[in-house]
Amino acid sequence: MINQTIAVYRREMLILKRRFKRQVAGQAILPLLYLVTFGYAMGGELRFDDISYLEFLLPGLVAMSSMTQAFAIATDINVARFYWHIFDEFQAAPISNASYVAGEVMAGITRAIISIFIILGLGLLFGVQLHYGPIFWLAILLNSFLFASLAVALAMVVKSHADQSLLTSFVITPMAFLGGTFFPVDRLPGWLQNILGLLPLTHASTAIRGAALGKDVNVMSLILLTITGIILFWVAFFCVNKARD
């Protein structure tokens, strides 16, 4: 099973290697624009709990990017499935469904980690120095694992590439702006906090920001990310089973 997983993962990495420069450029442009427009322009005037808005924003961008880049593996799966018919080849190959899901999830996590290093590098250029300890990276891995698993599941459910774009617009984009990325959730009305507390990205943003700022991280957020990620991984497994039937 390990060799099968590595084979799936290696294929995705070979594709990533061929377009690595374009991938890095694409992953850098949006965080750079956010840092310039929202962070650098307002960072000296806005402060939350004695930290600049730029220091508040950077961990939120890390959480958002780990989500969007991990989920972006769904696009590659869709293209391979509907246009190149690579998924048909996986069906014929001696690769188990669990290995296929694990390989694709690992590829999504790798894409997310690359984007994080890009954001942290941009943060250094803007003079932002935070704490990047084990909890910080654990929260990123859990968030990436969760959304990469969701990406594989949804990629197996949709019937066309256009449907995938709709899911991104209705699921990922709203979460990116409402999950505590650009503003502190605890300043919202209680009823709205309860709703946003249902979003995985809210817990990821809280944990990543707390660790980056050297504060205590709510263990429950990490537990919820872990449980949700495991559930979505098994959902992805069953979705692949159904797609291969």
Mean pLDDT, the chain, integer: 87
User: pLDDT value at position 37?
Assistant: 82
The long-range contacts involving 179-188, CB below 8 angstroms and separated by at least 24 positions, are: 179/63, 179/64, 179/67, 179/204, 179/205, 180/60, 180/63, 180/205, 180/206, 180/209, 181/57, 181/60, 181/61, 181/63, 181/64, 181/205, 182/38, 182/57, 182/60, 184/48, 184/56
HEC profile for 162-187? HHHHHHHHHHHHHHHHHCCCCCCHHH
The domains of the chain are located at: 2-244
Instruction: Look at residue 41 and tell me whether its pLDDT is greater than 70.
Output: no
Of the pLDDT bands very low, low, confident and very high (cuts 50, 70, 90), residue 23 is confident
93 or 214, greater pLDDT: 214
- Give the pLDDT confidence of 164-213 residue by residue, as tens digits: 778 788 888 889 888 888 888 888 888 888 888 889 999 999 999 999 99
User: pLDDT value at position 158?
Assistant: 84
Mean pLDDT across 27-31: 88
Instruction: Look at residue 45 and tell me whether its pLDDT is greater than 70.
Output: no
- Give the pLDDT confidence of 47-71 residue by residue, as tens digits: 777 788 888 889 999 999 999 999 9
Please name which of 82, 67, 85, 87 lies closest in space to residue 168, comparing C-alpha atoms.
67
- Give the pLDDT confidence of 75-112 residue by residue, as tens digits: 888 877 777 677 777 776 778 888 999 999 999 999 99
Instruction: Look at residue 231 and tell me whether its pLDDT is greater than 90.
Output: yes
User: pLDDT value at position 121?
Assistant: 93
How far apart, in Å, are the Cα atoms of 14 and each of 11, 157, 203? Answer: 5, 26, 33
The structure tokens listed for 78 are 């869709």
Instruction: Look at residue 153 and tell me whether its pLDDT is greater than 80.
Output: yes
DSSP states of 133-161? -HHHHHHHHHHHHHHHHHHHHHHHH-SSH
Residue 208 φ/ψ, nearest 5 degrees: -65, -45
CA–CA separation, 1 vs 95, rounded Å? 8
- Give the pLDDT confidence of 102-136 residue by residue, as tens digits: 999 999 999 999 999 999 999 998 888 888 999 99
How large a percentage of the chain has pLDDT more than 90? 40
DSSP states of 33-65? HHIIIIIITTTTT-EETTEEHHHHHHHHHHHHH
User: pLDDT value at position 6?
Assistant: 87
User: pLDDT value at position 220?
Assistant: 95
